[in-house]
Amino acid sequence: MDVVNEYVQKSPAIQMDFSQSPYIAIWEVTRACQLHCLHCRAQAQRQRDPRELSTAEGLELIDQIAEMGTSFIVFTGGDPLEREDLFTFISYARSLGLHVGISPSATPKVTKEAIVRAKEVGLSRWAFSLDGSTAQIHDQFRGTKGSFDLTINALNILFEEGIAIQLNSTLSVYNFHDLSNIADLAESFGAVLWSVFSLIPTGRARAQDMISAQEHEQVMEWLYQQSLRRPFLIKTTESPEYRRVALLHDSASVRRSVNDGDGFVFISHIGDVFPSGFLPILSGNIRDDKLSHIYRESEVFCALRDRSRLVGKCGICPFREACGGSRARAYAVTGNYFESDPLCLYTPGETVDGISNRHRPQTMLG
C-alpha cells in the first residue's frame, strides 16, 4: 500500500505545501442567524456579537489569507448575510485573486437583489444547506418552518442567474434514507458540487443524531458510485473515509487530502483560530498573532499535520495519508484527536469485497 501514500503526496490536483499554506480558509464572519438548526456547530444566536471582527480587521484578515497563498476563502456563520459589509469582503477578496464562496442561511435576507449583488462583486460559488428533499425533513433539521421553501426559491434564482451552486447536506439519522432524493434535487438545480457533511457531536449536535458506523460505510460506498454517474462533484467533510473507498476502487479518482489543520483553517467571528469549525481546540487569535504564524507554528496545527502521531488502527492504516480519519470526530467521541475514527469500519489490509462481505448493509440506499 505504499503506492497509496506516494500517490497522495504527488497528486497534481493541489500543488501546495500544506505545512505553509491552507488550501481553504473558512471565516465565520458572525454567529448571528435567524434559524435554530439541530446540529449547529456555532450554537448560533439571534443577535450579532459586539466582539466580532470589525470591517477593518476583516479586510486585514483577508490580506493575511491571500499572502499565505490560500486558494479559496468561504464566508460563513451563523448567517454571513447578517453583516452589511459582507459584499465588501467578497469584493476585496476577489481583488486579491482569491476564489470566494459564501454559505448563508435560507432566510428572507436571501433576496434576488442580494444574489445579483453577490454576482456583481465576483462571488465564485454560493453554498446552501439542503438536508432533506422535503419540507418535513429539511425544516425539522433546520429548526425553522419554511426554511425548505426559502431554500428552493433561492436555488431557482441562483440557477437563473448562472451562479455556481454548492449544496451542503449534513448526514444524520434524520436524512440517511433520503440521500438519493437530495442528490436528485442537486442535479436538477445544476449544482457543481455536493458536499456531504458527517455530523460531529459538537455545538448543538448530539451523538445520538449520528448514523452508525455500518451506515456510514454504506454511505461512503454509495457516494463513490454516485460520483461515477452524477454530473456534479462529490466531496465529504469530516468523512475522509470517502477517499479510502475511492482509492480502493480507483487510485486515479482521488485528489490530495485536505484535513483539519492540514490544508484547512477556521477563523471564528472574534478572531479565534481553530483547525476546523468542528475541532474546537483554540490555537491562537489573529488579534494577537498573524494567521500565518498560528497556522505554521502552533502546536495543534503541527501535530495534526504529522500523521505518524495517529494511534489505534488509524496509526497503522496504509490510508492514513489519504484519509487519516476524522480528527474532529475522534476528539468529540474520545477526547483525543489522535485516536482512531469511531465511524471507520476498515481493517488495514481489507479489500473492497472484504469490507462489503463483512459489513453487508441491511438497508440499501437508492
Most confident of 13-17, 54-58, 248-252: 54-58
User: What is the 3 state secondary structure string of the chain?
Assistant: CHHHHHHHHHCCCCCCCCCCCCCEEEEECCCECCCCCCCCCCCCECCCCCCCCCHHHHHHHHHHHHHCCCCEEEEECCCHHHCCCHHHHHHHHHHCCCEEEECCCCCCCCCHHHHHHHHHCCCCEEEEECCCCCHHHHHHHHCCCCHHHHHHHHHHHHHHHCCCEEEEEEECCCCHHHHHHHHHHHHHCCCCEEEEEECCCCCCCCHHHCCCHHHHHHHHHHHHHHHCCCCCEEEEECCCHHHHHHHHHCHHHCCCCCECCECEEEECCCCEEECECCECCCCEECCCCCHHHHHHHCHHHHHHCCHHHCCHHHHHCCCCCCCCCCHHHHHHHHCCCCCCCCCCCCCCCCCHHHHHHHCCCCCCCC
- Looking at residue 11, its pLDDT comes to 42
268 domain-assigned = yes
| pLDDT at 3 > cutoff 60 | no
346 domain-assigned = no
70-117: pLDDT as tens digits:
999 999 988 999 999 999 999 999 999 999 999 988 888 999 999 999
Residue 121 vs residue 40, higher pLDDT: 121
Instruction: Name the residue range of residue 220's domain.
Output: 22-306
210-236: pLDDT as tens digits:
999 999 999 999 999 999 999 999 999
The overall average pLDDT reported for the chain is: 88
Residue 31 vs residue 354, higher pLDDT: 31
- Looking at residue 13, its pLDDT comes to 45
- Looking at residue 80, its pLDDT comes to 94
| pLDDT at 36 > cutoff 80 | no
77 domain-assigned = yes
366 domain-assigned = no
354 domain-assigned = no
| pLDDT at 153 > cutoff 50 | yes
302-334: pLDDT as tens digits:
999 999 999 999 999 999 999 999 999 999 999
- Looking at residue 352, its pLDDT comes to 56
190 domain-assigned = yes
- Looking at residue 9, its pLDDT comes to 40
Residue 253 vs residue 294, higher pLDDT: 294
The CATH number of the domain where 170 resides is what?
3.20.20.70
**Percent of the chain with pLDDT strictly greater than 90:** 74
| pLDDT at 364 > cutoff 60 | no
| pLDDT at 128 > cutoff 80 | yes
6 domain-assigned = no
pTM for the full predicted model: 0.89
| pLDDT at 366 > cutoff 80 | no
* Count of structural domains, the chain: 1
- Looking at residue 251, its pLDDT comes to 72
**What is the pLDDT averaged over residues 288-292?**
99
**Percent of the chain with pLDDT strictly greater than 70:** 86
Tell me which of 13-27, 221-235, 267-281, 350-364 is least confident.
350-364
106 domain-assigned = yes
